[in-house]
């Protein structure tokens, strides 16, 4: 069994319509067991599959004492009556609680039961109670049918409020100063909107972008303005005027995600509790502006998210939390960034929830590696390198700057490719026959492009390019 990664408010999977479940398989049983573990690990009494990233009509329910957890497949509310009000929260919007009025009892038809021992459809009736175990999670029942998908139940108990046996499970909402610029930072900003008070957003000045070089606002600025949050765009935060201005805002904490400028000490210290960074690697490896790209280019199979207390160095501050994920064998930097941006939001919220109890851990600076900002020349292909290394390069510089080479018909960008462990018996860069197509000889093995883009044209398949370019075995691709 395993604890799954929770999806928080703002994650697109929570808005997708769920699909009904068919046969009860061993994989499905394991998934339900993992959902039950996750539900109790998060302190909840109900969990729907979309909340762990699965668009399936599956839910699990239990109670706060861990009794009689069960999985339900394709649940449908067929009857309900009465009315009861209880304080309720949502696992996908952690820390937010409110009095919610729901049915006193509901009758649900679903397949499943305890450990999914029953695969036939049956009727189950739940009655809301006012005991110390809280009310029955009717929110979770509704959330798995595709019509209400924002979250499942998390109830506070009378015991947790009154016996003094632990701290209030609702971490204090903080006033946040948010620094960020690209789309990668938006999920974290959305997560902060749901849990804390974002007072001001700091982002880079509008700059020319895209093919038309039209002046464009950053993704973070667009999201902040849409939410009605004040935005400031300092050209240089090192200018002394900004230190006092940021201090006057009066925030508890700054959160920094891919902002794009080095923050001086006076800026880092402006909030009462300093500044925390969300970094897309497992520090101290891959310090710098492009950790996602360089982790793929250098052939890593695992990466992650680190939150740390910021100091004046480049990603050198003490670590608060780290979470690892595997890199897909064919995953590009752009695709990995999408996954890490959601994970980063989860880790940041967990960091803030546990901020008073976490012990910052100094980094082992002797283990550090760097990930400098990418340049266009970083994507230039050197055909004398190993084919596997070149595939990692192709993945790591997708979507920018792209892996490029010179062909007899002009410059070509290779967006996706495979490495093939065969001897080419040809100079690196030479086109050689491979099955019914052509591949490119490298320093070791051959590289088979799959998707390419000639200069000033749209992306296309490698075979379509070969037909149009009329290249033949023996033609050479050269370094730029």
Quick one: 57 and 108 in the same domain? Answer: yes
Q: Provide mean pLDDT across the span 409-438.
A: 96
**CATH number assigned to the domain comprising residue 44:** 3.90.45.10
Residues 5-16, mean pLDDT to the nearest whole number = 79
Domain assignment present for 422: yes
Provide the domain limits for residue 317: 175-367
pLDDT tens profile 98-149: 778 888 777 778 876 444 444 445 555 555 443 333 333 433 433 444 333 3
CATH of the domain at 442: 3.10.25.10
Report d(CA 200, CA 298) in Å as an integer: 37
| 463 and 317 part of one domain | no
**Same domain, yes or no: 283 and 421:** no
For residues 69 and 113, the answer to whether their CB atoms sit within 8 Å is: no
Give yes or no: residues 181 and 120 share one domain: no
- pLDDT above 70: residue 1: no
CA–CA gap between residue 407 and residue 397 (Å, rounded): 19
Residue 476 lies in a domain: no
Asked if 17 and 146 count as a contact pair (C-beta separation under 8 A), the reply is: yes
Residues 190 and 65 in one domain: no
Note whether 121 and 210 are same-domain residues: no
The answer to which of 6-10, 124-128, 136-140, 360-364 has the lowest mean pLDDT is: 136-140
Asked whether the beta carbons of 422 and 396 are under 8 A apart, the reply is no
**Strand ranges (DSSP E) for 57-117?**
58-61, 70-81, 84-90, 93-102, 105-113
141 with 261, same domain? Answer: no
- State whether 387 and 351 are in the same domain: no
Residue 136 pLDDT = 35
Closest CA to 91 of 139, 34, 30, 161: 139
Domain C-terminal end among 324, 350, 367: 367
pLDDT range class, residue 318, cuts 50, 70, 90: very high
Number of domains in the chain: 3
pLDDT in tens, 153-172: 444 433 333 333 343 444 57
Pairing of strands 207-209, 175-180: unpaired
Instruction: List for the chain the helix, strand, coil content (%; round to 5).
Output: 25, 30, 45
> 180 - beta bridge partners?
257
478 domain-assigned? no
Do residues 193 and 265 both lie within one domain? Answer: yes
Are both 147 and 294 inside the same structural domain? no
Mean pLDDT score of the chain:
85
Where among 310, 345, 367 does a domain terminate?
A: 367
Average pLDDT over residues 25-50: 83
Domain boundary residue, one of 119, 138, 162: 162
Q: Are residues 20 and 49 in the same domain?
A: yes
Q: What is the radius of gyration, based on Cα positions, of the chain?
A: 26
pLDDT in tens, 252-292: 999 999 999 989 999 999 999 999 999 999 999 999 999 99
**Residue 168 is assigned to a structural domain of this protein:** no
């Amino acid at each position: 069994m395993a604890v799954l990664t929770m999806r928080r408010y703002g994650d697109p999977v929570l808005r997708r319509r769920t699909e009904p479940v068919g046969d009860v398989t061993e994989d499905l049983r394991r998934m339900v067991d993992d959902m039950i573990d996750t539900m109790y690990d998060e302190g909840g009494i109900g969990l729907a599959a979309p909340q762990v990233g699965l668009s399936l009509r599956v839910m699990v329910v239990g109670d706060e004492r861990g009794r009689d957890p069960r999985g339900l497949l394709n649940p449908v509310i067929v009857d309900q009556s009465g009315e009861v009000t209880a304080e309720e929260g949502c696992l996908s919007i952690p820390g937010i609680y409110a009095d919610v009025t729901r049915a006193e009892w509901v009758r649900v038809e679903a397949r499943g039961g305890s450990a999914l021992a029953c695969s036939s459809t049956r009727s189950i009736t739940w009655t809301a109670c006012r005991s110390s175990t809280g009310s029955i999670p009717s929110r979770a029942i509704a959330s798995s049918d595709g019509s209400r998908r924002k979250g499942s139940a998390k109830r506070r108990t009378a015991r947790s409020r009154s016996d003094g046996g632990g701290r209030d499970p609702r971490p204090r909402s903080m006033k946040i100063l948010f620094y960020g610029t690209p789309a990668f930072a938006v999920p974290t900003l959305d997560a902060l909107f749901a849990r804390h008070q974002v007072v001001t957003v700091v982002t880079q000045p509008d700059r020319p972008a895209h093919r038309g070089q039209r002046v464009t606002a950053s993704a973070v600025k667009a999201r902040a303005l849409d939410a009605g949050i004040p935005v400031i765009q300092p050209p240089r935060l090192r200018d002394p005027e900004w230190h006092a201005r940021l201090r006057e805002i009066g925030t508890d904490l700054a959160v920094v995600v891919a902002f794009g400028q080095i923050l001086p000490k006076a800026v880092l210290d402006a909030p009462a509790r300093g500044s925390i960074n969300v970094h897309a690697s497992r520090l101290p490896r891959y310090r710098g502006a492009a950790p996602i790209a360089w982790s793929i280019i250098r052939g890593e199979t695992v990466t992650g998210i680190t939150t740390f207390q910021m100091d004046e160095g480049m990603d050198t501050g003490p670590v608060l939390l780290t979470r690892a994920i595997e890199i897909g064998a064919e995953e590009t930097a752009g695709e990995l960034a999408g996954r890490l941006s959601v994970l980063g939001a989860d880790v940041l919220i967990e960091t803030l929830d546990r901020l008073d109890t976490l012990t910052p851990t100094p980094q082992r600076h002797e283990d550090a590696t760097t990930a400098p900002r990418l340049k266009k020349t970083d994507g230039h292909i050197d055909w004398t390198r190993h084919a596997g290394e070149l595939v990692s390069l192709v993945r790591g510089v997708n979507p920018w700057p792209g892996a490029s080479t010179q062909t007899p018909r002009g410059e070509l960008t290779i967006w996706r490719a495979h490495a093939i462990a065969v001897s080419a018996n040809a100079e690196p860069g030479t086109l050689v026959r491979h099955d019914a197509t052509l591949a490119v000889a490298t320093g070791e093995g051959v590289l088979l492009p799959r998707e390419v883009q000639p200069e000033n044209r749209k992306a296309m398949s490698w075979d379509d390019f070969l037909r149009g370019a009329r290249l033949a075995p023996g033609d050479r691709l050269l370094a730029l």
